[in-house]
Structure 1
Amino acid sequence: MIARSDRDVAAVRDLARPLDDDADLDELVARAGRARLVLIGEASHGTHEFYAWRDRLTRRLVAEQDFRFVAVEGDWPDCRRLHRYAVGDPEGPATADEALAGYDRWPTWMWANTAVRDAMRWLHDHNAARPPAERVGFHGLDVYSLHRSMRAVVDWLAEHEPVLAETARAAYACFDPFGPDPFDYARRTRWVPEDCEEPVVEVLQELCAGHSRGETGSADERFVAEQNAAVVAGAERYYRTAVRGGPESWNVRDHHMADTLDRLLDHAGPGSKGVVWAHNTHIGDAHATDMAAHGMTNLGELARERHADEGVVLVGQAGHRGTVLAGEAWGAAAERMRVPEARPASAEDLLHEAVGDGPSVLSFPPPSQQPRWLRTSLDHRAIGVVYHPRRERRGNYVPSTLGDRYDALIWCGDTTALEPVHPEPRDDPEPETAPTGV
């Protein structure tokens, strides 16, 4: 860690541009518009400003740079409801509130909040003026919806391919003895060698084979069914590795998100471009953090590896203090918590001294032209859905070389908590992620 100097403060000021309105995003929009993928992060899952500025940047990429979908750190079936609203599906939800009501697993506020509602209303109106084939979609990348995705696969197959539906029912019955909590299944596989991996992968392979043969159902409907089958296969592996500890379950999850992103690009067609919304810990290149030393990869690193020739822009976000919506434990009631001022000598501490509380945008130059503060590891704050402000000095920071982790950074010095649109559910069997809640 470097000792901060006046030179570092001046270098931050030289790079930072005030972010007062959408026009101040011009330079970043032009840079991101040349890429096939733009991944936009957040330093917490509960901060309004991170969601709002991410939405404002995305609107410009969609409207001006022809980005064709938004893919997020959310479950495929839940985000599918928002997609159907956004594209104006006549059989889908009629309003954003109706679509958001389907988020009924903790932490619901991560997507069922007023910032996402505003974003989806804009996307719905934008799509209404476009031909159906050119409407911008909204999709989930995550791996947690094991049981919902199983039901979705069987329901689709029952209507379109009844024989394969019976195969899927038999395969998914492997999970029946373990109840609704995927961890009950995963814990059992530690002691019993048989698991459900082979049958659920076979269902996915059969569905994909049907795709290549052009069998029943529209191409979009079959793609949705295939993705739900991929979620089942990914979730089975995720939960099985999670109970064994170590970094593998994190890597399984981020590989699943990267694979889903690639499928979305293929489905959208040649030259299509996509925006990704996820936590900084997923979209900032893991190579530039201490995650690499622990054997962890992430979505941002994988996107750069797979799509370097097509262009990938990683945009992080950071804040200094304010309030955040989070829980004290997994499944606990959401609270508006006070976020203390950032740790001394952290990246946030430096940014605050240089540019203060107002929003700013920093577009990073190439590594050979970067100032010292971008080339040296600094503690960089990360808040999950589980948060303990009193433990700030011991946790919640990821050592990062920001100039390698991101291509740009949006700074919001003083922040406010998200506003949820409905209360949390009472019970949820889904697991805590690691790092905690991100």
Structure 2
Amino acid sequence: MKPLSRRPCMLRPSTSYASIQARNLSPQTRFTRHSSKMTTKPQPLAPPPENHTVELLRRHLTPVPPISQSSSTLTDFFAPFAHNDTKIILIGDSTHGTSEFYQARAELTKYFIQHYGFNIVAVEADWPDAEAIDKHVRPRSPSAPSLTQDSEKPFQRFPTWMWRNVEFQNFTKWLKEWNEGKDSKTEAVGFYGLDLYSLGKSMQAVVDYLDKIDPEMAKVARKRYERMMMWAEEPHEYGLEALAAGFKGCEKDVMQILNSLLRKRVEYESMIWDGEEFHSGEQNARLVKGMRNVKTTVTLKLTGVLDAEQYYKAMFYGRDESWNLRDKHMFETLNRIIKHRSRSTPSKAIVWAHNSHIGDARATSMGWSNDELNIGQLCKEAYGDQALTIGCLTNTGTVAAARKWDGDMQVMKVRPGLPNSYEQLMHATAVKNFVLDLRVGHCNEELIKALMEKRLERFVGVIYAPGTERQSHYSHAVLPEQLDGFIWFDETKHVGALEVHQPHTTVEFDETWPFGL
């Protein structure tokens, strides 16, 4: 049976995520900080940077030296974020290709690991790719499979520069050295992927795992995944087919694989690396379907197959639903990782993702106009003040990005912040680099009030379109409600990518369509 041909007329117009976000709509609802209570009072747009607000910023910000020279001021400033009962720290960036953002995120992460016992690094990346890094940096028992020279290289899907860059390479080198000699279950730091685009890799990972542990069950898995494999290379086609009347999806087959693995959990866990490989196998299987139908408190690898099947169907019914499904998947995966690691030792997590994911969606037009949520909002709702967010922002410089899907990486000039934007306001301070704690009780009340005016904020993903920057990359936000703190770099440079040319993937409806974030 061949998949049906594409039906572009059945799709919504392929407006990009950023351009939908950037519509100049007044919010219909607002929320009280760290609360789900809503009000109906709209907030006016902020005027151009007023001298009083700029002066307040200058008075209360903390300057930091260039990150390449010293990170001690930065790490000391954010040390209180890791105090007390903090369970999760989410560190975001406003682009996917800025060197200073990657460096600052890495330095904060190393500091929190060294001084406060954080033992989970969970990132906006696919599970199988991140697991390859985890096998490289975290010691495992002799019976556990490891990354070898013959292993498939991780992060080969567009955009490769997002993780295949010098800054991330330096962090993984440090993490491997930190983990040396530490018990992999109780002391070593694990590296995990939260995203759900790895449909084909996740199905193959489940089968490979079963080949080692239960060859008969592997045969069953191959049979049940057979229909889904038709779309492994072009999973968006599966979403298109779901629009056709009478289309029979693969949800039942992939659910049966998950249920079979869960029934045999105890048996499998006793056979290979004390449950770690089972946890990975379960997460991959989940990735092929959809978590809303799975009510279980067990750990991870099947999630990949489960959630991806549902995501690719949702893509073509509406962008709001698919965005929400993706971020719910990230949040649920994070929870399962924490629960899995907590079986051996108390666990605390650091999350790396774009500002659009980690900043509370209720404080942006994502939530006001589009009814979208994100992992930052979900963490706030579930963990309250035990989940804290730090964003990275810039005014100008250079960025690594592409001009179109699957396009080669280019080094592009970042335009200065637009009028009425937070970027323009921060630039007006004339302070090159600084940090600010936006939490109530930690920041000057008058400054918080001034920053509560609704302003534009820039969001650049893997695509940068400077010619249509206002429409493509700006959205409205209220910064003190979106983030707990932020790092400002007035001028930044692009990441040191390991390669420029991108591997070919399907140009039309790439897996990250329509977001790029």
Same fold (TM over 0.5): yes
Partner of 2:135: 84
Q: Is the 8 A contact 1:386 1:436 kept in 2?
A: no
Distance 1:103 1:190, change over 3 A: same
Question: What TM-score, normalized by structure 2, do the two folds share?
Answer: 0.80
Distance 1:246 1:102, change over 3 A: closer
Q: Please state if 1:364 is matched with 2:475.
A: no
Partner of 2:105: 54
Using the TM superposition, give the Cα deviation of residue 179 of structure 1 relative to its aligned residue in structure 2, in angstroms.
Answer: 5.7
- Equivalent positions of 1:170-319 (< 5 A) are 170-178=223-231, 180-191=233-244, 192-212=246-266, 214=269, 216-218=271-273, 219-229=275-285, 230-269=303-342, 271-292=346-367, 293-308=369-384, 311-319=386-394
Using the TM superposition, give the Cα deviation of residue 398 of structure 1 relative to its aligned residue in structure 2, in angstroms.
Answer: 1.8
Q: Please state if 1:68 is matched with 2:119.
A: yes
Which stretch of the first structure deviates more once superposed, 288-297 or 2-11? 2-11
Q: Percent identity?
A: 33
> SS where residue 371 of structure 1 aligns?
helix
Using the TM superposition, give the Cα deviation of residue 205 of structure 1 relative to its aligned residue in structure 2, in angstroms.
Answer: 2.4
| Partner AA of 1:221 in structure 2 | E
Which stretch of the first structure deviates more once superposed, 129-138 or 251-260? 129-138
> SS where residue 372 of structure 2 aligns?
coil
> SS where residue 515 of structure 2 aligns?
coil
Distance 1:179 1:274, change over 3 A: closer
Counterpart-to-counterpart distance in 2, 1:32 and 1:377 = 29
Counterpart-to-counterpart distance in 1, 2:230 and 2:347 = 43
Partner of 1:16: 61
Distance 1:423 1:395, change over 3 A: closer
CA RMSD, Structure 1 to Structure 2 (Å): 2.1
Q: Which runs of 5+ in 2 are unaligned?
A: 1-44, 286-302
Partner of 2:26: none
Aligned length: 434
| Partner AA of 1:92 in structure 2 | S
Partner of 1:106: 158
Using the TM superposition, give the Cα deviation of residue 101 of structure 1 relative to its aligned residue in structure 2, in angstroms.
Answer: 4.2
Using the TM superposition, give the Cα deviation of residue 365 of structure 1 relative to its aligned residue in structure 2, in angstroms.
Answer: 2.9
Distance 1:426 1:26, change over 3 A: closer
Partner of 1:421: 498
Distance 1:99 1:323, change over 3 A: farther
Partner of 1:433: 512
More helix by share: 1
> SS where residue 264 of structure 2 aligns?
helix
Counterpart-to-counterpart distance in 1, 2:182 and 2:492 = 35
Which stretch of the first structure deviates more once superposed, 221-230 or 166-175? 166-175
Which stretch of the first structure deviates more once superposed, 41-50 or 359-368? 359-368
Partner of 1:28: 78
Counterpart-to-counterpart distance in 2, 1:139 and 1:14 = 40
Q: Which structure 1 residue ranges, 4+ long, deviate > 4 Å from structure 2?
A: 98-101, 212-215
Question: What TM-score, normalized by structure 1, do the two folds share?
Answer: 0.94
Which stretch of the first structure deviates more once superposed, 9-18 or 106-115? 9-18
Larger Rg: 2
Using the TM superposition, give the Cα deviation of residue 224 of structure 1 relative to its aligned residue in structure 2, in angstroms.
Answer: 0.5
Using the TM superposition, give the Cα deviation of residue 182 of structure 1 relative to its aligned residue in structure 2, in angstroms.
Answer: 0.3
Using the TM superposition, give the Cα deviation of residue 18 of structure 1 relative to its aligned residue in structure 2, in angstroms.
Answer: 1.2
Using the TM superposition, give the Cα deviation of residue 434 of structure 1 relative to its aligned residue in structure 2, in angstroms.
Answer: 5.6
Using the TM superposition, give the Cα deviation of residue 215 of structure 1 relative to its aligned residue in structure 2, in angstroms.
Answer: 5.4
Using the TM superposition, give the Cα deviation of residue 299 of structure 1 relative to its aligned residue in structure 2, in angstroms.
Answer: 0.5
Q: Is the 8 A contact 1:16 1:355 kept in 2?
A: no
Of 444, 464, 487, which aligns to 1:410?
Answer: 487
Distance 1:126 1:290, change over 3 A: same
1:261-285, Cα deviation, whole Å (9 max, x unpaired): 0011001116310100000000001
Q: Please state if 1:345 is matched with 2:420.
A: yes
> SS where residue 41 of structure 1 aligns?
strand
1:298-343, Cα deviation, whole Å (9 max, x unpaired): 010011112226x001111100000001111110011001101011
| Partner AA of 1:222 in structure 2 | F
Q: Is the 8 A contact 2:156 2:503 kept in 1?
A: no
Counterpart-to-counterpart distance in 1, 2:504 and 2:127 = 20
> SS where residue 398 of structure 2 aligns?
strand
Counterpart-to-counterpart distance in 1, 2:363 and 2:198 = 30
Counterpart-to-counterpart distance in 2, 1:193 and 1:15 = 59
Partner of 1:401: 478
1:215-265, Cα deviation, whole Å (9 max, x unpaired): 533310100001111111111111110022230011111011101100110
1:55-105, Cα deviation, whole Å (9 max, x unpaired): 01101000001000100000111111111111145753479xx99943211
Which stretch of the first structure deviates more once superposed, 366-375 or 411-420? 366-375
> SS where residue 316 of structure 1 aligns?
strand
Counterpart-to-counterpart distance in 2, 1:112 and 1:424 = 12
